[in-house]
Each structure stands twice: as structure tokens, then as C-alpha cells.
Amino acid sequence: MRAFEAAARNGSFTVAATELFLTQGAISRQIRILEEFIGKKLFERFTRRVELTAVGKEYYLDIQRALLDIERATAKAMGSTSRAILTVSVMPTLGASWLMPKLARFVEQYPDIDIRFLTSIEPVNFQAGDLDAAVRVGCLPGADYGQRRPRIELEMVTSWKGVHAEYLLPDILVPVMSRKLLMQGAPISTAADLLHYPLIHTASRKYAWGDWLAAHGVTLREGGRQLDFGHFFMGLKAAADSKGIAIAPSVVVQESVLAQGDLVCPLPADVRSAGNYYLLTRNAMGPTSPLARFRDWLMHEARAAESYVQADDELPSLA
């Protein structure tokens, strides 16, 4: 069940294996045994990704709640009930590349609060489970994000009833490629020049390349060379291996990828998507509650990050 929960939460057997310090084959075997025991498929397997079946999605929610209950019961038995526990859902790549590296600062500032992160790109269901907050990317209901902006087809929540959304960061997609490929390939001075290279697509943002190119007056050619991956971090790994040019959020690229020196952005980040990153909560919070303290810390980190992820555009206005 631990293998299943990690694979479902990350949308990847490989990432689950890394998280649990196992091999990808071990994760696959554990899930196959679980499927045989239940008598139903939990995952649909594709070439480079996996997706939960309808049964798998329902089972995943139940397993997450059960494991969280076990964790809280264990903390209670150990006498650590004085520590507040916040459960926060965050998208895998943003969590690993932007949020997790900053967590040590939060722990140092608030040693009495434990944060439990769940990673997922699925719509947040605050009516089921014990989530305190979530970070998602998408569009607010009724918001006007302007014309000709890259679409974000992800749904942030299953229902907006009682949900409070607070702007966190802009979503600005940028092309990313290895320094080696840029040095050896055709020169790049405009968006049209990117079409000389294989383009790396991400399943969760299938319109990203076409919409980003269209914003620069370029049409994505059908049948062009391309690679497809399930998550941004997979596409960035392929870009680092000189397989082509990926497209990813600037906050992820600037924070962790470019700092390592393996990848470069051949063109500037100048187009804001039709949506933003938001902190989502379901309940009103007191000014000194653990959730309010986490919110204040997260907003401080987001404002510090805006200096290097911001495009020269205005924020969207609510219609």
C-alpha cells in the first residue's frame, strides 16, 4: 500500500521508487501484487507514464486518509500532540524544485509545526480527507487573464464552495535546453528558431508549446519532432540529456535547474499564462494559527521569488 500510495501521489513508479529507496521494479511488483489481491487494475500503464484508473483514484483517496490517520495516531502515542500537524498538497515538480528546498527555513522559524506534504496534480477535494491547504496552478472562476495566453487545462479544485484562493506566483512558461545542445545546434534568436529542434511536451500541459509559440506569432507544425513525458521534471531531465527543448514554469527553471548550470533558457520569459499559482484553503484562519503562520511564511517566499519569475504583464482582474 505504501508503494501504491507513493506511485499514485507522484504519478510515477520511478519517483515513488526514489522516495521509498527502492527500485522501480520493486514498486511495479508491489503494485502488481496489490492489483492481483484486489482483482482490479489500479493503474493504466503507458510508455512513459502511468495513470490511475477510476478504481485506483477512489482507492488512493481512502489509502491516503488511512495512512494519515496512522501517522497522527503514532504521533499521539509518542506524546507529540503538542505539535501542530499541517497537511498540504502540492504539485510534484513545484514541490521538489521550489518548495522543499526552502522548508528548512520554515522548520527553523516554527519548530512546533510539522508539515506533511502530499504531491499531486489532481483537483483538490477539501470535502474529502484532512487537507489543510494546497498549492495548485490554474484559473480562478470568472477571472480575466487576457488574450492569447498559454492555456492551463488543469482543474484546481473539485468544488469552489468554501474555498479561499490567494495569489502565490505567476505561471510563466520558458523554453529550456542543454548548454551542449545550444552550442552544437542551429542558432536561436526568435521563437521560430526553436522548431529546428525536437520539442519536449508534458502530458499535464499538452497545449503549452502550441500556445507559447502562438503568443510569439509562430505555428506549431503537425508531425514535427517531439517527445512526450508525464511531468515537467521528466521533460527537464530529457532536456538535460540533450534530447530536445523542454518548456517549463520559470519558477521551477530559475530556482533549481539553471542554478546547476546544465540547462539554459535560449529566449526570455516574456509570456504569462492564462492562470497563476494559488494557495488554496478551506477554512477561515486565526492570525496566529499554525495554518496562518504557514501561509505568511509561504507568501514571504513567493514575494522573494517573484523578482526572477515575473514577466512584464499585469495581473489578471476578476470579471
> Which amino acid is residue 81, in one-letter code?
T
DSSP the chain: -HHHHHHHHHT-HHHHHHHHT--HHHHHHHHHHHHHHHTS--EEE-SS-EEE-HHHHHHHHHHHHHHHHHHHHHHHHTT-TTSEEEEEEE-HHHIIIIIGGGHHHHHHH-TTEEEEEEE--SPB-TTSS---EEEEEE--TTEE--SS--------BS--TT-EEEEEEEEEEEEEEEHHHHHHS---SSGGGGGGSPEEEEGGGTTHHHHHHHHTT-PPPTT--EEEESSHHHHHHHHHTTS-EEEEEHHHIIIIIGGGTSEE-SS----EEEEEEEEEESS---TTSHHHHHHHHHHHHHHHHHHHH--SSPPPEE-
pLDDT bracket for residue 178 (50, 70, 90): very high
Is the pLDDT score of 314 beyond 80?
Answer: no
Specify the amino acid at residue 59. Y
- Determine contact, residues 246/235, Cβ cutoff 8 Å: yes
State residue 64 phi and psi, 5-degree precision: -60, -45
Residue 42 scores a pLDDT above 80: yes
Q: What is the pLDDT of residues 276-305, one digit of tens each?
A: 999 999 866 766 688 999 999 999 999 888
Cell numbers describing residue 130: 484532512
pLDDT band, very low/low/confident/very high, at 18 (cuts 50, 70, 90)? confident
Give the integer Cα–Cα distance in Å for 36 and 30: 10
Instruction: Provide the pLDDT for residue 313.
Output: 46
- pLDDT of 312 reads 46
What is the structure's pLDDT at 255?
A: 63
Is the pLDDT at 261 greater than 60? The verdict is yes
Burial 147-164 (b: 16+ CB within 10 A, else e): eebbbbebebbeeeeebe
**What is the Cα–Cα distance from 52 to 45, expressed in whole angstroms?**
9
Average pLDDT over residues 169-188: 92
Burial of 114 (0-12, 13-18, 19+ CB in 10 A): middle
Give the mean pLDDT of 236-251.
Answer: 90
Average pLDDT over residues 31-59: 86
At 35, which amino acid appears? E
Does pLDDT of 167 surpass 90? yes
What was the pLDDT predicted at 258?
62
> Does 78 score more than 80 pLDDT?
no
pTM, 2 dp: 0.73
Mean pLDDT of 245-252: 90
CA 99 to centroid of chain Cα atoms: 10
- Position 136 pLDDT exceeds 90: yes
**pLDDT value at residue 156:** 95
State yes or no: pLDDT of 25 exceeds 70. Answer: yes
> Residue 59: which of 9, 103, 94, 102 has the closest Cα?
9
- In this prediction, residue 260 carries a pLDDT of 62
pLDDT tens-digit map of 139-148: 999 888 877 7
- Report whether pLDDT(208) > 60: yes
Lowest mean pLDDT: which of 18-27, 107-116, 183-192, 253-262? 253-262
Grid coordinates belonging to 42 = 489500479
- pLDDT the model gives residue 294: 94
Q: What's the pLDDT score for residue 79?
A: 63
Q: Which of 6-10, 232-236, 299-303 has the highest mean pLDDT?
A: 299-303
State yes or no: pLDDT of 241 exceeds 80.
yes
Higher pLDDT, 130 or 312: 130
Q: Is 13 exposed, middle or buried (0-12, 13-18, 19+ CB in 10 A)?
A: buried
pLDDT category of residue 2 using cuts at 50, 70 and 90: confident
Confidence label for 315 from pLDDT (cuts 50, 70 and 90): very low
The mean pLDDT value of the chain amounts to 84
Residue 318 pLDDT level (bands cut at 50, 70, 90): very low
Q: What pLDDT does residue 82 have?
A: 60
